[in-house]
Chains A and B, each alone.
Chain A
């Protein structure tokens, strides 16, 4: 017993070092698993508050660009409305059945107060949290494409797992056909992401548009992601398909949060199939 105490006394500095390193390593491992929420994240009161303060100054300098983006999106939405109007006119009659009507997605807005894109695993911080109805696993988009999925929420802030992250895997498809793939990032260039697992019979051309697929219960189907920049077809399959993003991930201000109101229904249905 005395020898143990002597040992601890003699090596207490080394033991402290080992304990701290193990603690740090546990945090690293815990953070890298996708399904667990992170313990160390910037959605807390202090870092969220600091980023919020700094952003309120920074945002002032981006007002012009934000306005341009908004009016661009307004124009696009107005065009969509016009087209819809035409189809109504072609119909000889319309039936409005309120029991058939349903809303699948609900959108809300938030502001990015911290954005990383130069690291291997990037996260963003938003200025809204559980107080504003945000929960884990909601999609985050803006007018130009997808940005990521909410990972952690505190009462006033949330962190977003960016698509520029090793753990981000988002279901996408080719716009002109229904072949699905997975959007990942190799960590090299923040403008270029990769699509893997596209079946070999799919016809892929440079310049094809990639949109989100309907398989995921997070994003609505058909949100544009980017265009195919180049690809490699070797050993009878697509080795790598590079996607040039529509979004400039280095300059993101206002974002929209997508809530899938039917998510529970879909997930429960899918689970019941797996259980059989």
Chain B
């Protein structure tokens, strides 16, 4: 009984997070334009916070849907869907590399329980991957490679800062 209640709680939490991140992204962060052109893509926090013990396939499908919803709002084709599905797939291998462990303690894992440096590195790698794919697909030409890289780095800095701050503020340390 208690366990079932807890499961429901987790599911509800994730549904709220999905919707909150979607609207936070399309209504606020798509329009902040720091220095005129930097729009942090904080919706990928979804991938960082999705419970590791849940089904991996579920993460892929929900990430794809979140990316596609962002695309619907920002008229960007399937670019965000492609990028977020990509990092959702590589989340676990990267987490294992960062933690230097072959077998993860799935049931206990929480982003807040590992050391700050490792969590930061994990977030940074996934963010850079995601942003590089987004800008690469958006510009879609080798002539613009310098612009793609500079955009990736600058936007990543803000995304990492904001998402780290958001995770520290809005998640419970267990």
Contact = CB atoms under 8 A, between A and B. Distances in A.
A203 interface: no
B116 interface: no
Contacts of B23: 50
Nearest to B144: A187
Given A16-B61, A47-B72, A28 B82 contact: yes
B64 A24 contact: yes
Given A13-B56, A20-B60, A41 B78 contact: no
Interface stretch (A67-75, A113-121, A208-216): A113-121
B57 A13 contact: yes
B9 to A, nearest CB: 26
Contacts, number: 103
A25 B144 CA distance: 20
B8 interface: no
A42 interface: yes
Interface stretch (B30-38, B95-103, B106-114, B118-126): B30-38
Contacts of B147: 187-188
A41 B85 contact: no
Given A20-B61, A40-B77, A119 B85 contact: no
A40 B86 contact: no
B57 A16 contact: yes
Interface in A14-49: 16-17, 20-21, 23-28, 30-32, 38, 40-42, 44, 46-47
A185 B118 CA distance: 41
A42 B74 contact: yes
Residue in B74, B77, B140 with the greatest tally of chain A CB atoms within 10 Å: B77
A123 interface: yes
Interface string A120-152: 110101000000000000000000000000000
A17 B93 CA distance: 14
Nearest to A53: B27
Contacts of B81: 20, 23-24, 27
Contact of A20 (B30, B64, B79): B64
Contacts of A44: 72
Interface in A175-228: 187-188, 190
A23 B139 CA distance: 20
Contacts of A118: 33, 36-39
B75 A123 contact: yes
- Give the contact-size bracket for chain B: 35 or more
B82 A119 contact: no
A267 interface: no
Given A20-B85, A159-B75, A28 B56 contact: no
Contacts of B37: 118, 190
A62 interface: no
A243 B148 CA distance: 24
Nearest to B134: A119
Interface in B137-167: 137-140, 144, 147
A77 interface: no
Contacts of A166: 140
A265 B137 CA distance: 39
B155 to A, nearest CB: 10
Contacts of B137: 28
Nearest to A124: B75
Nearest to B82: A24
Given A40-B71, A40-B72, A42-B73, A16 B138 contact: no
14 contacts: A16-B61, A24-B68, A24-B78, A25-B78, A30-B77, A31-B78, A40-B71, A40-B72, A40-B75, A40-B77, A41-B72, A42-B73, A119-B138, A250-B33
Interface of B: 23, 26-27, 30, 33, 36-39, 56-57, 60-61, 64, 67-68, 71-79, 81-82, 85-86, 89, 137-140, 144, 147
Given A32-B77, A118-B39, 16 more contacts: A13-B56, A23-B78, A24-B67, A27-B68, A47-B73, A114-B73, A116-B30, A116-B75, A118-B36, A118-B38, A119-B39, A121-B75, A121-B76, A166-B140, A187-B147, A190-B37
Can you list the 6 inter-chain pairs with the closest CB atoms, starting with the nearest?
A27-B78, A31-B77, A123-B75, A24-B82, A24-B78, A118-B37
